[in-house]
Structure 1
Amino acid sequence: MIAYIKGILVSVNENAVIVDVQGVGYEIVCANPFSFQASLHHEVTINTFHYVREDAQMLYGFRNEDEKILFTNLISVSGIGPKGALSILGGIDAGEFIEAIEREDDKYLTSFPGIGKKTARQIILDLKGKLSAVVSISSQSSADTQNREASEGLQEAQEALKSLGYTEREIKAVMPELQQESTSNTDEIVRRALALLMRN
C-alpha cells in the first residue's frame, strides 16, 4: 500500500496531478487537483490510496488524512466506487459530511450526484459511528482556530486601548471580563472594554 507520495509537483490538470519522485512521475487522481496549483514546481506530500483491481491500478490523492479516511470508508459502502467517492469529496468539507451521516441527514446526502435514497441509507447504516475520530479531529481543529482568533482579537484590542491613552493597569483590570466575550472581533472587544472602563 502506498500511503503517501512526496516529491516535486510537476503538473496539474482537471483530473490528476503528477508528482516527480527521483525521476519517476506518479499520476495521482484527485477530487480537486487545482487545490494543489499553488505548490506547482515545489515539493509536496500528498496522502494517497493505492486502488488495485484486476484491470487497473490507480493512485488517489487527498489534501489531508481526514479526506483519505472518508474516501476509504465511502468505497466500502455498496454502490459507491472510487469515482463516486471522489465526486462527493470534490464538493464537501469532510467534517460537515460526517456530521450529516451522524444526524442521518438523507436530504443532504442525496444532494450529491449518484446518491439516491437507497445509497444514502446504506451510507448511514455502514458508516454512522465509525468516523467519530475524524469528526473529533475536525472539531479540535475548529476549536483551535477559534481560540487563536480570540487571542489575536484580545491582543489587538489591548493595543488599541493603549493608543487611546489607557494604562496597562486599567486594561488588565477589565481583561477577565473581556476574555469571557464570545466574539473575536477587535472593534467589538474595544467597545466592550470602553464600556467597562467608563463604568469603573
Structure 2
Amino acid sequence: MAGSLLGSEMCIRDSKVYSPTPFAYTQGQKAKVFIEQVVRDTGITLYGFQSQDDKGLFLKLLSVSGIGPKSAMAIMAAEDSNSLAEAIEQGEVKYLTRFPGVGKKTASQIVLDLKGKLGDYVARLDRPDNGENVPPALNDALLALIALGYTQKEVDRITPKLEKVAANTADQYIKKGLALLLKK
C-alpha cells in the first residue's frame, strides 16, 4: 500500500475500501469517505462510509456479539441506515431477521445490545443532509422527495448530483431530483 499525506487527507493506492453503499460514489469524482480500519489475524481491511453517523452505526453493530465486519456491512447495505436504526430502537426483531446472516437469536442480540443507544443517531438521520451544510432549498427538496415515497438510500444516491445543480428554489431541486430518480 503506497500512500502520501497531502494536508489532512491521505491518498491510498492499491488498497480496497469496502462500502455498504458503493453506488453512491462515481469513479473519478472527489468524495469524502469516513474510513474505519479493522485489524484481524487474517489482515487489515478498510471500510468506508458516506457519513460519520454511518461509521458510528457500523462500530455499534460490531460491538454486538456475533456480528463481524462482513455481517455489519451486509446489514447496512441491505437497508438505509435510518430504517435500520429505527428498527433497532423499536425492538423489531422480525424486521432485523431479513438481513443476510441474521437469525432470530442474532437479531435479538442486536436489539438487546443497541436498543436505547441509537436515539441521537435516529434524531440526526431525520435530516436528509445528515448534518452536512446544504442550502435550505436543497434540504427542503430532499425532505419532499422522501415525503413522496422515495427511500433515504435513493435520495442519498442523487444528493451529490443535486448539490452541483444551479437551482434557487426547492421546486427546481425537486424537479431535477425527480428526473434523476426516474432516470435510474
Measured against the shorter chain, the TM-score band is 0.5 to 0.7
Specify whether residues 24 and 99 from structure 1 end up closer, same or farther in structure 2 by C-alpha distance, changes over 3 A only.
same
**Contact kept in structure 1, 2:34 and 2:49, CA below 8 Å:** yes
After TM superposition, give the deviation of residue 29 of structure 1 in Å: 1.1
Change (3 A) 1:49 1:145: farther
Distance 2:112 2:33 in 1: 30
Structure 2 match to 1:73: 60
Runs of 5+ unmatched residues, structure 2: 130-135, 145-169, 172-184
Quote the Cα distance in structure 2 between the aligned partners of 1:30 and 1:147: 25
1:40-59 equivalence runs, <5 A: 40-59=27-46
Report how far residue 34 of structure 1 moved.
2.8
Counting aligned pairs with the same residue, the percent is: 39
- Please list every run of 5 or more consecutive structure 1 residues that lacks an aligned counterpart in the other structure: 1-5, 8-19, 153-183, 186-200
Alignment counterpart, residue 101 of structure 1, candidates 88, 93, 114: 88
Q: In structure 2, what is the Cα distance between the partners aligned to 1:31 and 1:147?
A: 24
Moved more, 85-94 or 132-141: 132-141
TM-score, with structure 1 as normaliser: 0.58
**Structure with max Cα Rg:** 1
Residue in 1 that maps onto 2:161? none
Distance 1:89 1:32 in 2: 8
- Match in the other structure for 1:114: 101
Q: CA RMSD in A?
A: 3.1
> How far did residue 148 of structure 1 move?
2.3
TM-score, normalised on structure 2? 0.62
- Larger strand share, 1 or 2: 1
Distance in 1, Cα, partners of 2:104 & 2:93: 7
> SS at 2:28's partner residue?
coil
**1:34 is matched with which residue?**
23
Q: SS of 1:48's equivalent?
A: strand
- The CA distance in 2 between the partners of 1:145 and 1:125, in whole Å, is 39
Cα distance in structure 1, aligned partners of 2:30 and 2:54 = 20
The reply on whether 1:84 has 2:71 as its aligned counterpart is: yes
- Give the Cα–Cα distance (whole angstroms) in 2 for the partners of residues 98 and 50 of structure 1: 22
- Change in 2 beyond 3 A, CA 1:107/1:55: same
CA distance in 1, matches of 2:16, 2:75: 21
User: For the structure 1 residues 145 and 77, does the alpha-carbon distance in structure 2 shift closer, same or farther, using more than 3 Å as the test?
Assistant: farther
Question: What is the identity, as a one-letter code, of the residue corresponding to 1:148?
Answer: D
Deviation readout 1:21-61 (Å, 9 max, x if unpaired): 1x744421112323212xx2132221111101223111101
The residue type equivalent to 2:117 in the other structure is K
